[in-house]
Amino acid sequence: MDLGLRGKVAVVTAASGGLGRAIAEEFAAEGATTIIAARNPARLEASAAEIAARTGGTVIAHRADCTQEADIVALVRETTHRHGRLDAMICNSIGPRTAPFDEMTDDGWREALDVKVVAQIRIAREAFKAMQAQRSGCILFMAGTHGRQPRTYSVTAGVTNAALINASKVLAEAAAPFDIRVNAINPGPIDTERMVYLTKEKAAELGVPEAEARRILADVTLLKRFGEPRELASAVVFLASPRASFMTGIMLDIDGGQVQAI
């Protein structure tokens, strides 16, 4: 299926690795000019070169820290100045650190909100400003299934993801008059560095080996396994494409059936 992304301009933040990189690779494979942003310039440049070599697409590295407003303003400004438009913004960010509820300090909560909620709202805000002028575009928040189904081993993820889901609904309503679509993606247990971290936290919570914790986390899905980054990336890129032009204000769980609530 041709997703209609050839000639479009997509930006993916936190894209030097993990889910962000997988999403960027799918955009590039579909022919979109793809700008990837992250904090580590060496890793970022290497990822851009590898994605371009693998897909034959145009991939541009732009060093930016999502927790710094000036960096995000510059990212959006340079993208629109250089390419004349911004068609898709994937508001991705690192996952917050977690701890048992009674051990999370005020500073820990502030950090979690800053790296996940404030960072993504900041990215979405700047993208929304740019897209209003062209009266088109798509903004996707990267939230997570813990926002719908909280777990004790990932308390900060539950709180921050729920906030992002709410923010996506609010922005979808504000953006609709400009033909800008806004949705939230809820990744479940996808096999990335983040899941390695959460597996360690689950093992500590239960007092079991990490291999056992991994099996337990996989078993909560209907498919009884972790997802691969590309399985999520394919759905994300579809939702950001013109093929999904009547889809806005939704949250899409990509979790192998982990969340079964109606």
8 A C-beta contact, residue 166 and residue 235: no
Distance CA 28, CA 47 (A): 12
All residues at 6 or more sequence positions from 151 whose CB lies less than 8 Å from its CB, including other chains: 157, 158
Which strands sit side by side in the sheet containing 251-254, from one edge to the other? 59-63, 33-38, 9-13, 88-91, 137-142, 180-187, 251-254
Judge whether residue 262 has pLDDT over 80.
no
Full set of structural domains in the chain with CATH? 9-190+228-254 (3.40.50.720)
* pLDDT tens per residue across span 33-49: 999 999 999 999 999 99
Query: Among 146, 162, 74, 65, which Cα is nearest to 113's?
Result: 162
More confident residue, 261 or 180: 180
Helix (H, G, I), strand (E, B) or coil at 224: coil
CA 41, chain centre distance (Å)? 19
Residue 242, pLDDT score: 97
- Output the CA torsion sign for 255, 258, 261, 262: positive
* pLDDT tens per residue across span 201-231: 889 989 999 999 999 999 989 999 999 999 9
- When pLDDT is averaged across residues 169-196 and rounded to a whole number, the result is 96
Residue 261, pLDDT score: 67
Residue 153, pLDDT score: 79
- Give CA separation, 149 vs 140, 182, 200, 217, in Å: 20, 22, 19, 13
